[in-house]
Structure 1
Amino acid sequence: MYGRFYLKNDKANIAKQFSVGNPLNSKTSYNITPSQNCTVVRLKKNESELANLSWGLVPSWAKSDVKIKPINAKAETIKEKPYFRSAYKKQRCIIPASGFYEWKGSKGNKQPYCIYPLNDPCFGFAGLWEKRNELETFTIITTAANELMSEVHHRMPVILDSKDYDTWLKDGDYKSLKPCASEEMGMHMVSSAVNKPSNNGAELITPVGL
């Protein structure tokens, strides 16, 4: 399960990379965790906009006491699974991320890694969003790991190519839900301080063990 990422508050670059005209006053966060509000890109009247949604999908038909709020959805099954298929058809989104974290090793002895883009200010994760009453939520789509990520974990977020942003939002192009090239990513070990959700400083992405 992939469940931690970070986003630097670079409104100008985010607006440019994702072709949106309404940059949000979001804060830099180096430790975004499930249930937090996050910046996503979605369509409104066929135009891209930024919005703040809670991480952990709650379908529109869910009961008020729903306990299952998936933070990830497997690309291989989103077309068929009842929890995701409606959002896949109508409510796709992109989640900007300056990078994300993944852990390697056995329970009690896991080493965190920071993974980040080499060529763009942000990754653009493929996602789905839903609205239940006034609650708007999202989930991040995952796929099989590429060669680099397979050193750490067998799954990874779907990182869209920038040329696929528009077709993903408007058409749900399923072919774009594939592992990105390892050459577009960097990775290094970081401190176990990232394990604690309340820690949220730039030191969390500083390399260790070099």
Structure 2
Amino acid sequence: MCGRFVLFTTGDDLVAEVATLPGVDSVQAPDGTPPARYNIAPTNQVPLIRIAEHEALIDAARWGLLPSWKKDDTGPPLFNARGETVAEKPSFRSAFKSRRGLMVLDGYYEWKQTESGKQPYYVRPEEGLLYAAALWDTGLDRLSTTMVTTEATDNMAWLHHRLPLFLARDEIEQWASGTPEEAMELLHPSRVADTFQWNEAAREVGNVRNDYAELISP
């Protein structure tokens, strides 16, 4: 599960990082990249990476998929898609076939119930960025995206039983440009999570209006 995340690698730094991905020869960000954010929530605009013919395109997308058949944006936002059913569920199956991309994160938040209430944790890799398997669509004439999730890895199950499908660098091209059958091969708990680090985050992150660097390491 992932309902809040952090992205402070932006601008030229983000473009440069995306340019190093396997299968990417050039990067275009026609509308620029977003400012640093420390409390990104569903329905916010996030950078979506789509790769085609060795070019990566970075565009702003609504976090919460709007399938082409949707008539309005009411109802809970589809910000996560379960990997176990993503190929069959009506909300996601069309996007899974031909509209797969990447959401990019520096880290994400997860909450754990304690005696004193819910404690948020900030989870991050040892180094570099996280690339989450994503789907996209253009319902309601808006670019939108959702993040694929799987069962948690053994080392992260203490925090939550679900985990975003973070792709290893050697899996990215297969996910973004492969056939649906090749993408299906990647729908398993992420091996990237083996390197995760975490720390307690500020409880103020629970309010989406709070968005500042001190949230990740109070």
TM-score by length of structure 1 reads 0.90
Correspondence for 1:22: 28
* Distance (Å, rounded) in 1 between the aligned partners of 2:73 and 2:146: 19
Correspondence for 2:112: 104
Q: What one-letter code is carried by the residue in structure 1 that aligns with 2:123?
A: I
Match of 1:195 among 195, 206, 209: 206
Match of 2:153 among 146, 154, 168: 146
Contact kept? 2:72, 2:140, Cα under 8 Å: no
What secondary structure sits across from 1:149 in the alignment?
Answer: coil
Q: Which runs of 5+ in 1 are unaligned?
A: none
* Distance (Å, rounded) in 1 between the aligned partners of 2:188 and 2:75: 29
Contact kept? 2:45, 2:60, Cα under 8 Å: yes
Match of 2:59 among 48, 51, 63: 51
Structure 2 residue 184 is the aligned partner of structure 1 residue 178 = no
Distance change (3 Å), C-alpha of 1:191 and 1:88: same
* Distance (Å, rounded) in 2 between the aligned partners of 1:79 and 1:202: 37
Note the C-alpha offset of 1:108. Answer: 7.8
What secondary structure sits across from 2:96 in the alignment?
Answer: helix
TM-score by length of structure 2 reads 0.87
Contact kept? 1:9, 1:26, Cα under 8 Å: no
* Distance (Å, rounded) in 2 between the aligned partners of 1:185 and 1:63: 39
Q: What one-letter code is carried by the residue in structure 1 that aligns with 2:131?
A: G
Q: What one-letter code is carried by the residue in structure 1 that aligns with 2:187?
A: L
Match of 2:132 among 114, 125, 137: 125
Correspondence for 1:67: 75
Structure 2 residue 164 is the aligned partner of structure 1 residue 157 = yes
Match of 2:39 among 14, 23, 31: 31
What secondary structure sits across from 1:164 in the alignment?
Answer: helix
Q: What one-letter code is carried by the residue in structure 2 that aligns with 1:134?
A: D
Contact kept? 1:114, 1:188, Cα under 8 Å: yes
Q: What one-letter code is carried by the residue in structure 1 that aligns with 2:27?
A: G
Contact kept? 1:35, 1:55, Cα under 8 Å: yes
Q: What one-letter code is carried by the residue in structure 1 that aligns with 2:9?
A: N
Post-superposition CA distance 1:121-176 (Å, at most 9, x none): x1001010100242111110001111222111000110000111111111142222
Q: Percent identity?
A: 32
Distance change (3 Å), C-alpha of 1:11 and 1:176: farther
Distance change (3 Å), C-alpha of 1:107 and 1:64: farther
* Distance (Å, rounded) in 1 between the aligned partners of 2:11 and 2:189: 26
